[in-house]
Each structure stands twice: as structure tokens, then as C-alpha cells.
Amino acid sequence: MKDKQNILIIGAGLCGSLLALRLGQRGYNVNVYEMRPDLRTVEISAGRSINLALSDRGFKAMKLVGIEDKVRELCIPMNGRMLHDVEGNMVMAPYSGRDHEYINSISRGLLNALLMDEAEKHENVKFHFNKKCKSVDFEKTTALFEDHNSKDEFVEDADIIIATDGAGSVMRQSYFLGKKFLFSFSQDWLSHGYKELSFHPTENGDYKTYKNALHIWGRDSFMLIALPNLDGSFTVTLFLSYEDGEYNFGNLTTPEKVIEFFQKYFKDALELMPNLVDDFFTNPTSPLGTVKCSPWHYKGNTLLMGDAAHAVVPFYGQGMNASFEDVTIFDKVLDEDHDDWETVFKVYEQNRKQDTDAIADLSMDNFHEMKGHVNKAIFREKRNLEMALEKNFPNDYSSKYSLVTFQENIGYREAMLRGRAQDKAILNMLADKIIDLNDDLKTNLEKVKTVTEEILEDDMVAKNLKH
Ligand code: FAD
């Protein structure tokens, strides 16, 4: 592929800004059109997750573009889940038995701004703000935009267009509505929505609760989580059904009812939230969903990337990480020196789709795990065993969570298959008392490995039989 070609990117979010930086480094002429104002100069209102968990797949992409150290400066390590029960007791459940494996809380705005700053250092990369894409003509490789201020419409063309315009992608919509090729698309909404709340810092600017953890109040059919920010505050997110259950977003309509709900289920959190009612009635309630589609590209003209191609529910903390990993994988395909963009797009999608489908499914699994399972005795026993295995046999064992979150050199699909088999093996053996946590750890490791391999083999046989 020749450099100096003109690439148009729609959306200067996390994926689009990283992609612009990488393609700029590779020598392409890159123009990025973003519908919002420049977030480095204008305060953009809350409502869209203020902070996120960044982990190893995301860092791999940061290394690729040479900004890992700058990104680390923005991070707060979270070593585990701090589980809060209804009585207000807290217990820390580490994410891994290996000390160097943890996730990081990072501000969406600061990270996005850094990526744009770095991209703009390349004179061949330009950002255009307040320009909303209205549709894409994927046959002509042109996009129609509207200027937010003047309301003028204009058309831009390019050699290729890559849409990183998020879960509600306009280009994906153009694919769907255009009916010019066989385009499959599914969008599954969760019955739960989310609302962002906050713990403010103490008067001295300190954190009101333990800083280096992702706090979780799991209550089976709903949950609250909190991630730390650099200024001493926490961003707190309530995940709750729109309609079902005694308390839901539909019936929490008065300050009294909201306080009653928090008093009953999140008493210790409520003590840290004198601002609860304000936050609750100011901040929007937003939906959560999974988007899958294919193909992601139209010939060699246009390509979907990031949430535009594969939005997931946020319960594995992997949506941004997966979008960053898209750029890593795309870059690798560019290294292969294919002759034309169509082959690049095809190979990229072939390499990538099964992994983004896997993280979509894993994210739904984790929704149930975080709400309820983390509190159940057998799941805690499993976690304890896995922690001990990771600590004592760091090269021999990784839990499903570690495979997904910290093993950036294997795909999500491989992590899912192995991780699920391990979970099944351990849970069955604990239930059937084939594993005793007091037994020698090496013996337990061998049992887990043997049964995991048997399950993986059975799965393979079952799959082959089906075909
Ligand atoms: P986006 O970040 O959505 O960016 C899209 C950009 O395109 C935006 O700037 C938007 O303004 C712009 N745009 C949209 N439409 C147009 C248009 N028509 N014209 C021009 N520009 C347009 N991921 C994690 O890895 N870890 C987490 O802990 C995590 N937590 C999350 C918590 C919540 C509550 C949610 C909702 C998501 C979370 N995610 C997390 C997922 C993460 O936010 C997304 O996966 C990530 O933002 C995807 O990046 P993107 O650039 O593809 O899309």
C-alpha cells in the first residue's frame, strides 16, 4: 500500500484518534471529522463513562504508537475488586495472583486529548471539529457532513473512509439502509441502563474510600461500581433495570425513593454521597447494548472500526481495549504489504471478527458474574484457588479473567474457550468435591489442567460433529 494516500476518518473518539496517530506515523494523509467540539478546549458534558479501565491489550497499542509512558502517568492502578456487601463489609478480591497484573482507571477525556495531541504532531494529520457525518456513499467513497455552527452541508471524498463513529455509527447505518450488498446487523439492548454518579474528594482532596480498587456493590439483579479519578473523586455507575424489580429507573422518580433505595442496598456508598440526589436527577440514564455486524467493509472503499463495528456491554472493561486492539491488528495487516485496500480490509476482518464476537459474549458473561456470582461461596472458592495457582505457578496457570485482560498476545476467542473450560472444570470439581482446597496445590493444578483439556477436547469433538 502506498503512503501519501488520503484517508478520511469519521469520529475522533478513542479509536479514531489512535488510528489517526498510527496512520499519520505511517505517512498517510489523514483527515478526521468529529461531530463534537474539540474536547481539549470545551468542557463536554458528563453522561458518557468519565473514566474507563485500561488494561494490557490497550497498552499494547499505546506501545505501538510510542506513548505508553505518557499514558501510565494518567493511570490509577486498580489491583482488584473491592466487594461491598449489604451490611457495608468490604473484601478485596485481587484480579490476579501475579503482582504485576492489574487494571488501570483512566479519564476518557485526558486519554482522548493525549491521542489527539500526539496525532496532531504529524503535519499530515488534521482534525476538523463540529462536523457531523450525515451519510456515507460507500460506492463513491464520499461522506456528507453538516457544519454544526453554519448548518452548511458539504461532501468530502478520499481514497478510503474509515468510520470510528461509535456504537451509533452513521456509516454502518448507510451500509444497512443502502441495501447494496448483503450486510448482516444485530443490536441487542440490555434490559438494564446506567447512570453516572460520584463520590467527591474529602475536604483535603483525599479519596473517600480505598483508591486502588474497582469497587463493586453487586446485588444480583443490579449493581453499583466506582472507579477512582486523579482528582480524588470516584466516578460511580449504577446499572439497573429500566422496568423490572422493586426498584428500577422507571420508578426511581423522587429524591425520597432514590435515598430509600440506596439506604436499603448501598448504605456505605450513600454515606459518601451527599450529592446523590443532585447527580441522580441531573445525569442522564443511558442504554447499553451489543452490536454485531458483517462485513465491516465495502470493497476497498470503506471500513468500520471500534464500537462502530462491534459495540459491547461494558462489564469486562474491554470495549476501549478492543477498539485499541483493532488498530494494532490493522497495523499488522498493513505490514503484510498487500496490493490493495480490499485485501487489507478482508484480511483484517478475517483475523479480527471472531475475537470481537468473543469479547461481546464474554462481556455478557461478566454482567452476571459481577452482579451476583462474585458473592457466591463456590465462585469465591474458585477465585481463591485460581489466585493461589497464579501466584505459585505463574507460568502454568491463568484464569479466564487473566487470559482476557492481561494476555495481550492471545486473541479473545482463545481466551474465551480456554477460560470457560477452566471455569467449568474447577466449578464441577469443587461441587463434586474432587478438588479439596486443603490438598497440595500442585495436585490441584494437575487436576484442573487435565479436566480442562478433556473439556476442550469434548468441545472440539462436539463442534466437528455438528459440521
Ligand atoms: P466512541 O468512543 O464512541 O467515539 C466515537 C466518536 O465519534 C465520538 O467522538 C463521537 O462524537 C464521534 N461521532 C459519532 N457520530 C458521529 C458522526 N455522525 N459524525 C462525526 N463524528 C461522530 N471500555 C473499556 O475498555 N474499559 C472500560 O472500563 C469501559 N467502561 C465503559 C463504561 C460505560 C458505561 C460505557 C458505555 C462504555 C465503556 N467502555 C469501556 C467502552 C468504551 O467506551 C468504548 O468501547 C470506546 O469508547 C469505543 O471507542 P470508539 O472510538 O470506537 O467509539
In the chain, the percentage of residues whose pLDDT exceeds 90 is 90
Q: Which residue's CA is minimally distant from atom 34 of ligand 1?
A: 49
In the chain, the percentage of residues whose pLDDT exceeds 70 is 96
Q: Are 389 and 448 a contacting pair, CB within 8 Å?
A: yes
Residue 422, Cα to own-chain centre: how many angstroms? 23
Give the nearest ligand 1 atom to 169 CA: 15
Q: Are 232 and 280 a contacting pair, CB within 8 Å?
A: no
Q: Which residue's CA is minimally distant from atom 26 of ligand 1?
A: 317
Average pLDDT in the chain: 95
Give the C-alpha separation, 380 to 200, whole Å: 31
Give the C-alpha separation, 192 to 444, whole Å: 38
Strands 160-163 and 6-10: parallel
Q: Which residue's CA is minimally distant from atom 1 of ligand 1?
A: 166
Mean pLDDT, residues 187-210: 96
Structure-block grid coordinates of residue 31: 483527515
Give, as one character, the DSSP assignment of residue 193.
E
Give the model confidence (pLDDT) of 70-114 as tens digits. 999 999 999 999 999 999 999 998 999 999 999 999 999 999 999
Mean pLDDT, residues 59-66: 98
Give the C-alpha separation, 1 to 14, whole Å: 25
Residue 1 pLDDT level (bands cut at 50, 70, 90):
low
Give the model confidence (pLDDT) of 223-237 as tens digits. 999 999 999 999 999
Return the sign of the alpha-carbon dihedral for residues 178, 182, 188, 194. Answer: negative
Give the model confidence (pLDDT) of 97-107 as tens digits. 999 999 999 99
Give the model confidence (pLDDT) of 259-299 as tens digits. 999 999 999 999 999 999 999 999 999 999 999 999 999 99
Structure-block grid coordinates of residue 88: 457495608
Give the C-alpha separation, 427 to 78, whole Å: 26
Residue 213 pLDDT level (bands cut at 50, 70, 90):
very high
Number of helices (H), then strands (E), in the chain: 15, 19
Q: Are 296 and 163 a contacting pair, CB within 8 Å?
A: no
> Distance, CA 311 to ligand 1 centroid (Å)?
9
SS3 196: strand
Is 133 near ligand 1, meaning CB less than 6 Å away?
Answer: yes
User: What pTM was computed for the model?
Assistant: 0.96
Q: Cβ neighbours of residue 462 under 8 Å, at least 6 residues apart?
A: none
Give the nearest ligand 1 atom to 36 CA: 11
Residue 202, Cα to own-chain centre: how many angstroms? 30
Give, as one character, the DSSP assignment of residue 375.
G
Q: How far apart are the first and last CA of the chain?
A: 38
Write down the pLDDT at residue 47.
46
Give the model confidence (pLDDT) of 394-425 as tens digits. 999 999 999 999 999 999 999 999 999 999 99
Give the model confidence (pLDDT) of 424-444 as tens digits. 999 999 999 999 888 999 999
Tell whether the model's pLDDT for residue 134 goes beyond 80. Answer: yes
Write down the pLDDT at residue 377.
84
Give the model confidence (pLDDT) of 9-18 as tens digits. 999 999 999 9
> Distance, CA 218 to ligand 1 centroid (Å)?
25
User: Nearest Cα to 332, choosing from 60, 124, 68, 69?
Assistant: 60
> Which H or E run includes 351?
helix 341-371
Write down the pLDDT at residue 374.
63
Write down the pLDDT at residue 43.
77
Write down the pLDDT at residue 367.
85
Return the sign of the alpha-carbon dihedral for residues 294, 300, 304, 310. Answer: positive
Mean pLDDT, residues 138-142: 98
Beta bridge partners of 187: 291
Write down the pLDDT at residue 372.
64
